[in-house]
Amino acid sequence: MTISEQEKPVTKFKFKPQLSGLRFCAVLFVVVYHFSVFLIGLKSWRYDLGSFIVFFFVLSSYLITRILLDAKRKAIGKGMAVWKVAVAFLTRRTLRIFPACYLYLLILWLFPLEGYDLRQHPGYYFGYIYNVWIFITGSWGPYAVHLWTLAVEEQFYIIWPWIILFIPTKHLFKVFLLMAVSAIAFRIIFLTIFPYQPVFPMLVLMPSCIDSFAAGALLAYLHYTGKENNQWLKWASIIAIPVWILLILTNHHRSFIGLDRVFISLFAVTVIDIANRGYTGIAKLFLENRVVQYLSKISYGIYLYHLIATLFFWKLFEIAQHALIGSGIDLSSAGKIFASPYISFWIYFILAIGCATISWYCVEQPFNNLKKLFNYVRPKKAKSLKPKA
């Protein structure tokens, strides 16, 4: 296998702090959404803001696709089998994702009530097919609901390297477009065949999410081939907004469910495209801020632990309340203050950051450091300078 002229990249992929900052922004949005009763209540009005979770999929696909395209180019250039790149990729992803997630599941397992379903059906949780379990049962636990996104991400990681590495690069753009259309068709066909089925369990399946991954991959392909100044994306987003709002207001069920993620993916692609070139002004200061960069580094942990942080807090509060009963101190008034949405958000958020920090330094970073043992393309060994005997 050789690299044709059509497959040669114009630009190389480099670390962009603003893209890292966007990862934290995506996590922050999810945390605010989950901790805000008002925002969750909006879905009973017209629109479920939780749909913006697909921003994760677009960003993740963009970054992973760029990494794989660059690794593919280097491997082919050195005459290396591309399946070795896939093995290295999967190993590195395992080292990054599994340890913290399994720690979270083990912690949840220890809670008698909250961990009951996990103990009854561990294979769905530990096997990264919790999204399938949600589809089968139509139910989800309050401290595990966010795990469906990790399941979808892991399923994506398993199939993606084989697509990127074994399909000629010049054909990938058409493949990504086909995947996007297939996901839209899947959602519309499903709603046509099963019009009275709940929507959420269907939306967590991989075929429903693949267009968001395809959107990130399409942008990665454009950047890889040197098309980094895509001003048309901004105008496409502006034109799409009125159509999106119209679909929300008219509430045409099939069209809305079929196309909603397309609009969100277009928005995400536009934001990522600009971040790749570099925001200026306040956006630049925020995204490249040291604190934001640190929170981005531990953002996986923040996302993973933010729901169970609420459980930790109230369990500790309950223990403190029982311990102080004998001394005549009543914490019920304090409990009402802590339960206030404006107070509880900061308590939970700070606890989530604390849990994520502990997880990063004690679990994630040690495993993450092992990734250097599994390079995508191994450097050639230096020739020995030892004189012949």
CB atoms closer than 10 angstroms to residue 256:
20
pLDDT tens by residue, 73-118: 999 999 899 999 999 999 999 999 999 999 999 999 999 999 999 9
Residue 245 in any domain: the answer is yes
CA distance 119 to 308: 17
State the residue range of the domain holding 155.
5-373
Name the DSSP letter for residue 376. S
The answer to whether residue 378 is domain-embedded is no
Least trusted range by pLDDT, from 1-5, 6-10, 130-134, 277-281: 1-5
Cα dihedral value 314, 317, 318, 322, nearest 10: 180
- Rg of the Cα atoms in the chain: 23
In a domain, 308, yes or no: yes
Based on the structure, what is the number of domains in the chain?
Answer: 1
Q: Is residue 144 included in any domain, yes or no?
A: yes
- Predicted confidence at residue 42, as pLDDT, reads 45
pLDDT digits (tens, 9 = 90+) for 292-307: 999 999 999 999 999 9
pLDDT tens-digit map of 264-321: 999 999 999 999 999 999 999 999 999 999 999 999 999 999 999 999 999 988 888 8
Residue 310 Cα distances to 101, 116, 263, 306, 352, angstroms: 17, 18, 32, 7, 9
Closest Cα partner for 257 from 300, 204, 303?
204
> Contact, 211 vs 176, CB < 8 A?
no
pLDDT band at 171 (very low <50, low <70, confident <90, very high): very high
**357 with 301: CB under 8 angstroms?**
yes
Say if 69 falls within a structural domain: yes
Q: What DSSP state is assigned to residue 49? A: G
For residue 381, is it within any domain?
A: no
379 occurs within a structural domain: no
CB 306 within 8 A of CB 352: yes
Q: Give me the pLDDT at residue 49, please.
A: 66
More confident residue, 151 or 51: 151
Q: Is residue 260 part of a domain?
A: yes
Distance in angstroms (rounded) separating the CA atoms of residues 369 and 103? 18
